[in-house]
A and B are shown apart, each in its own frame.
Chain A
């Protein structure tokens, strides 16, 4: 009897959580401030006392620790957040741009995949150039032109390893979701992509290379980000667009640039992409990494209900300027957990809620992801989350929250079709296989597009 009651309680909690978060996306004031707090594989492994390197090869090793943390910490998303960068696939490819440190953390060293003199090749066809020039530099076992057989085996291994890891992680999160009543996101409604100039920078020209290109060859940079647009646009679109799904953009370069360069080189193509997506009803979720206070006027022009995650900044100013138009999140300093007493943590949480919650359009989260156990104090983390849950309660749930999003307000730009000699269109496929019915198109192109997305992910 008790178990059935428990199950019913969990199911109710799951429905409540889902309705609560969906209210925010539907531009309504929710019952209480939703909490988006999760912990990644590295920190959960440390909590469990499991060798970090082993957990990277088998994330299931941390399942009981993840379960314990879900039990201790109240959040409206699964407290176990998993991990994307794993050695099983990066090492299979001989990655130089995502490698393990001596202490077992996967990291991105500053690598150059595209040379300054190769801009014209890139502009001519970015995807061809990535396959022929960038990947062989950043992955020693992906040299498609010189060692095609080995490269094919390698990429197949890497894709399988990535899918296996994903299946394990998704399975673990599904079990925890059922047990603790977290809301379930509709599959295929989420995407992730980088701003065009960020992807050109991170592992292609590199942060230091791009810092020089901006001054030496700005017109090439501009042409390159524009040439990249059809690929970037394509990769970001999830299989299914709903009001609750989104495409995630971690934004890297802007705060390290002068406004003059930002406004002419970085912003235009990204703004175009976010607007194109808005015109399709696809919301963007953006992480404004570092301190974006000097760019708030630009952010103000983004489509209504863009979900904006801040790292640093003045919470009051951000709420005042952006709170009526956008769904704001994060900004609460993780460092509070280790530098303040439990009572101070509770007081600071309440102060923060008082600033950010009024009127809705707000989801609680921290400014940074925690990486090691010493980044947090679990007792204080529990106290912060429970304070948000109990203090962040609205008196007017169901009221309209702020400006409403209408996709008709946005105009889609003309986007050139994505083309590459390494990309087979359905028309070409049909020419080779004339008996293929039209209904097979999705199956055929899903496989082709999975390769494009995987290749793109290797430039992250």
Chain B
């Protein structure tokens, strides 16, 4: 079984070959560590997808499909993966800030960062400051991700950072903001640690923080 093929097919978003490969793999009643290797190969393929996106060969629609493909792959592997989550590289509380109902960008980021080995706690759209604060208190994540499409999301992101500050949680997390309206200037105004308009780049930033 050559995992390089699996990585290549995930990178090419060749669903048919990926699913066929995984079905054959499962039929062989693999061990949990074999399954972990398969997951790692899929993750490498997803990294390739991110690279192609950054090069301008893939577009947002391809990232969405990549997320779907990976979810499908993990679902297939679940029975042989067990429940060991020691391989998680870090945790992220993620949500769309209050006033904004958009979640396509958030969901793309979620699937890509999950593919990179993070555990993501997605609290949903239009989330008040208190929802971020209570989830951060409960989970104690490494990173908080805030998403938004409308310009009004920028103020909501600032409110959320201030809420975390007031709750004494700001210094225990890194904060990344993402979405159409975020810029270097707005990132500074909001008080986030970094920003991105590009999910693949967002994953790199998070990985860098966890090193």
Residue ranges of A at the interface with B (Cβ–Cβ < 8 Å): 99, 101-103, 105, 107-110, 207-208, 210-212, 214-216, 253, 255-258, 261, 335, 339, 370-372, 374-375
Contacts and interface: CB of A to CB of B under 8 A. Distances in A.
B151 A375 contact: yes
B155 interface: yes
Contact of B59 (A103, A110, A256, A371): A256
7 contacts: A105-B152, A107-B100, A109-B102, A208-B107, A253-B61, A256-B59, A258-B58
A339 B101 contact: no
B27 interface: no
Interface stretch (B3-11, B62-70, B202-210): B62-70
A257 B58 CA distance: 8
A258 B103 contact: no
Contact of A102 (B104, B128, B150): B128
A102 B126 contact: yes
B62 A371 contact: no
Interface of B: 13, 15, 58-62, 64-65, 68, 98-104, 107, 125-126, 128, 150-152, 154-156, 183, 185
Closest 8 CB pairs of A and B: A103-B99, A211-B61, A211-B64, A256-B60, A107-B101, A109-B101, A256-B61, A372-B152
Nearest to A259: B59
B99 A101 contact: yes
B64 A374 contact: no
Q: Of B61, B99, B152, B156, which is in contact with the most chain A CB atoms at under 10 Å from its CB?
A: B61
A109 B125 CA distance: 9
A110 B103 contact: yes
B59 A255 contact: yes
A344 to B, nearest CB: 15
A253 B62 CA distance: 12
B107 A107 contact: no
A372 B156 CA distance: 13
A109 B155 contact: no
B15 A214 contact: no
A456 B151 CA distance: 29
A211 B107 contact: no
A367 to B, nearest CB: 12
Given A105-B152, A110-B104, A375-B151, A214 B61 contact: yes
Contact of A99 (B15, B64, B101): B101
Given A105-B99, A109-B102, 5 more contacts: A101-B126, A103-B98, A208-B64, A214-B65, A370-B151
A209 to B, nearest CB: 9
Nearest to B63: A211
Contact of B62 (A211, A255, A372): A211
A442 B18 CA distance: 57
Contacts of A107: 100-102, 150
A339 B68 CA distance: 39
Contacts of A256: 59-61
Contacts of A370: 151
B18 to A, nearest CB: 12
Nearest to A110: B104
Nearest to B61: A211
A207 B152 contact: no
B157 to A, nearest CB: 13
A261 B65 CA distance: 14
B11 to A, nearest CB: 14
Contacts of B64: 207-208, 211-212
B47 to A, nearest CB: 19
A108 B126 CA distance: 12
B142 to A, nearest CB: 27
A212 B99 contact: no
Nearest to B107: A208
Contacts of A253: 61
Contacts of B151: 370-372, 374-375
A39 to B, nearest CB: 14
B152 A371 contact: yes
A101 B152 CA distance: 11
Given A212-B68, A215-B13, A102 B98 contact: yes
A101 B60 contact: no
A430 B206 CA distance: 68
A47 B185 CA distance: 24
Given A215-B15, A339-B185, A371-B150, A109 B103 contact: yes
B63 to A, nearest CB: 8
Contacts of A335: 183
Contact of B152 (A103, A108, A257, A261): A103
A207 B104 contact: yes
Contacts of B103: 109-110
Nearest to B154: A374
Contacts of A105: 99, 150, 152
Given A215-B15, A372-B151, A258 B61 contact: yes
A102 B125 CA distance: 10
B99 A215 contact: no
B59 A102 contact: no
Contacts of A212: 64-65, 68
Nearest to A201: B61
Nearest to B60: A256
Contacts of B61: 207, 210-211, 214, 253, 256-258, 261
A99 B155 CA distance: 21
Contacts of B185: 339
A101 B100 contact: yes
A253 B59 CA distance: 11
Contacts of B128: 102
B15 A216 contact: yes
Contacts of B156: 103
B179 to A, nearest CB: 14
